[in-house]
Amino acid sequence: MPAATPSYALIVKKDCPTCALIEPVIAQLAARFASALSVYVQDDHSFPASFPERIDDTSLAYSYAHNIEIVPTLLRLHADGTEQARIFGWDKKQWQQFTGVADLGQKLVAFKPGCGSKTLDPGMEAVLVLKFGPQLLKARAVALADAEDIMEACFERGWSDGLPVVPPTPLRVLRMLRATTRAADEIIGRVPPDNVPCSVEKVAINAVLAGCKPEYFPTVLASVTAALQDQFCLHGLLCTTYFSSPVLIVNGPVTRQIGMNGGVNALGQGNRANATIGRALQLLVRNVGGGIPGGIDRATLGNPGKYTYCFAEDESDSDWPSLAMDRGFERGDSVVSLFAGDGLQGVVDQQSRSPESLAKSLALSLRTVAHHKLFAMADAILIISPEHRRVFRQGGWTKANVRDALYSELMIAGTEIVRGAHGIAEGMPEKFRDKILNKFRDDGLHIVSAGGKAGLFSAVIGGWVASGERGSQLVSQKF
């Protein structure tokens, strides 16, 4: 039997000089192949005027289904409509060989590259996946009345932390999901206190609500994975009457890739990545896990970090190991660490010019974590600013030297801190009177670098009073 005659499909757009150039070619192909030629137009259905049977593809349904990246593209199709071969752009000899029309476009230039398909317009990929691709989103759709204010609707449904949120439309959620290779329906764990299964899609929804850009999403996923580690004790942290909430410290190349702030005002406002990554975790705990203030969240006072508490470490000093390196990771690893922390306590020392003096000064401030007479209960993060770090560096001290000196300075005789000592009822139980205690357990003090280069100020983030093996520990997640 003779081979079936192939058919052709040509995809063009008017706003393409190469497509305009080959309009005479379209007329030649139409004369040669008649009904075996279909022309799909991505933008203006009036083009090409010489081919009245053109097909409107402004929805890009055909272009998406056939993965068109350049126009013009000419497809040669089997009898069943499946693709046999394709060419794109304009190459006279190639088109003549491809179609078997020896004089095709004889008067045209020999070569002209094509243009980008409208399927490649910025943001279009997610739009087309949502319209024509596999159904990735499983979350319940919420329908709003025509007159309903979409921003107020988010407040009324309890999705907000008290500040406006970004409405999680299907398109925004899908764009967030496109930033990871993980499946949307993959369950990454159960979120306390309600112990609800949490999918990657649910994380994406809350990342949208928080205002994250898609490129932040891998960091958000890593923070959620870290928060669900048993050692972090998220359920207890949510239920406590204490001040603490998750504090996120991010290390590695990702901080530069997504523009996180570890310098001037690192723990303040103004940086979108810092603000929204930390907020995404807080919103997820609220919206998925049910950790709502006044409900399971019984914090007596709370702290502003319960909106968001996230910053990058300053890793500009190659001789000073980062927090992630202290945790066993490499400098080139992207790592997020979570700490159950309170608000920020400033430390002012503008006079110390020797490492010994500065270490003693910082130790005195660290002693006040939780209470200056309560020892080995709450962990802490000491944030050392660049100027204070310079004092240590000029004195020849390494980070290990700083840590050792702080632990030494924080050894206190039990007689000083037992209940009733110095006329203060609060303190350690009487059984510790004859002991020497350290303010922190062996792995309870973490040193991080951050801040601007002007100002002899450092800071302390005190930990939850349920720190340690039976409470919350600092956890890290590489991604």
With b meaning 16 or more CB within 10 Å and e meaning fewer, what string describes 464-475? bbbbbeebbbbb
What is the identity of the amino acid at 398? T
Q: What angle do CA 136, 138, 140 make, to 5 degrees?
A: 140
What are the two backbone dihedrals, phi and then psi, of residue 196, each rounded to the nearest 5 degrees? -90, 135
Regarding whether 419 and 294 lie in a shared domain, the answer is yes
Token output for 114: 């094509």
User: Hunting for tokens 């230039």 — which residue is that?
Assistant: 109
Return phi, psi of residue 246, to 5°.
-65, 135
Task: Give residue 70's region: left, alpha or beta (phi > 0; psi -120 to 50).
Answer: beta
How many independent structural domains does the chain possess?
2
For the cut 90, the answer to whether the pLDDT of residue 479 exceeds it is yes
d(CA 90, CA 408): 76
- Domain assignment of residue 172, yes or no: no
Residue 185 falls inside a structural domain: no
CA pair distance 130, 209, nearest whole angstrom: 19
Q: Helix or strand or coil: residue 13? A: coil
Is 150's pLDDT higher than 60?
yes
Does residue 103 belong to any structural domain of this protein? yes
Average pLDDT over residues 219-233: 97
Residues counted in the chain: 479
Q: Would 356 be classed as within a structural domain?
A: yes
The token pair at 408 is 């030494």
Helix %, strand %, coil % of the chain (to 5): 35, 20, 45
Which of 251-255, 276-280, 290-294, 403-407 has the lowest average pLDDT? 290-294
Question: Measured between alpha carbons, how far is 465 from 379 in angstroms, rounded to an integer?
Answer: 8
With bands split at pLDDT 50, 70 and 90, how would you rate the model's confidence at 4? low
Residue 26 has pLDDT above 50, yes or no: yes
Closest by CA to 444, choosing from 345, 326, 309, is 326
Contact 383, 451 (CB under 8 A): yes
Question: Mean pLDDT over all residues of the chain?
Answer: 96
Give the domain CATH number at 36: 3.40.30.10
- CA atoms of 187 and 195, how far apart (whole Å): 12
Residue 256 C-alpha from the chain's centroid: 13
Q: How far is CA 228 from CA 224, 231, 472, 475, in A?
A: 6, 8, 12, 10
Interval 364-376 mean pLDDT: 96
Query: What pLDDT was estimated at residue 179?
Result: 96
Final residue in a domain of this structure, among 95, 120, 145: 120
**Same structural domain for residues 301 and 442?**
yes
76, part of any domain: yes
| Integer Cα distance of 267 and 384 in angstroms | 13
Same domain, 310 and 444: yes
| Residue-wise DSSP of 197-239 | EEEHHHHHHHHHHHT--GGGHHHHHHHHHHHTSGGG-HHHHHH
Residue among 63, 81, 80 at smallest CA distance from 72: 63
Whether 276 and 385 map to the same domain: the answer is yes
C-beta separation of 386 from 453 below 8 A: yes
Domain end, chosen from 86, 120, 154, is at: 120
**Do 226 and 98 fall within a single domain?**
no
Q: Which candidate, 208, 218, 15, 258, places its Cα nearest to that of 117?
A: 15
Shared domain check, 107 and 248: no
3-state SS string for 344-398: EEEEECCCCCCHHHHHHHHHHHHCCCCCCCCCCCCCEEEEECHHHHHHHHHCCCC
CA 37 to the chain's CA centroid:
47
How many alpha carbons fall within 13 Å on the CB side of residue 96?
A: 12
pLDDT of residue 1: 41
434 dihedral zone (left: phi>0; alpha: psi -120 to 50; beta)? alpha
- Reported as a single tens digit per residue, the pLDDT across 400-427 is 999 999 999 999 999 999 999 999 999 9
> What average pLDDT score do residues 226-254 get?
96
Q: Do 256 and 375 fall within a single domain?
A: yes
- Output the pLDDT for position 296: 87
- From 40-44, 97-101, 143-147, the region with the lowest mean pLDDT: 143-147
12-23 tens-digit pLDDT: 999 999 999 999
Structure confidence by residue, pLDDT tens digits, 378-389: 999 999 999 999
Would you tell me how many other CB atoms lie within 10 Å of the CB of residue 476?
A: 21
Q: What is the pLDDT of residues 467-477, one digit of tens each?
A: 877 789 999 99
Domain termination site, one of 120, 147, 162: 120
Residue 374 lies in a domain: yes
Same domain, 343 and 469: yes
3 — pLDDT class (breaks 50, 70, 90): low
473 belongs to a structural domain:
yes
Establish if 204 belongs to a structural domain.
no
- Same domain? For 438 and 317 the reply is yes
Are residue 468 and residue 354 in the same domain, yes or no? Answer: yes
Range of the domain at 277: 221-478
Contacts of 153 (CB under 8 A, 6+ apart): 142, 144, 167
The tokens for 356 are 């010994």
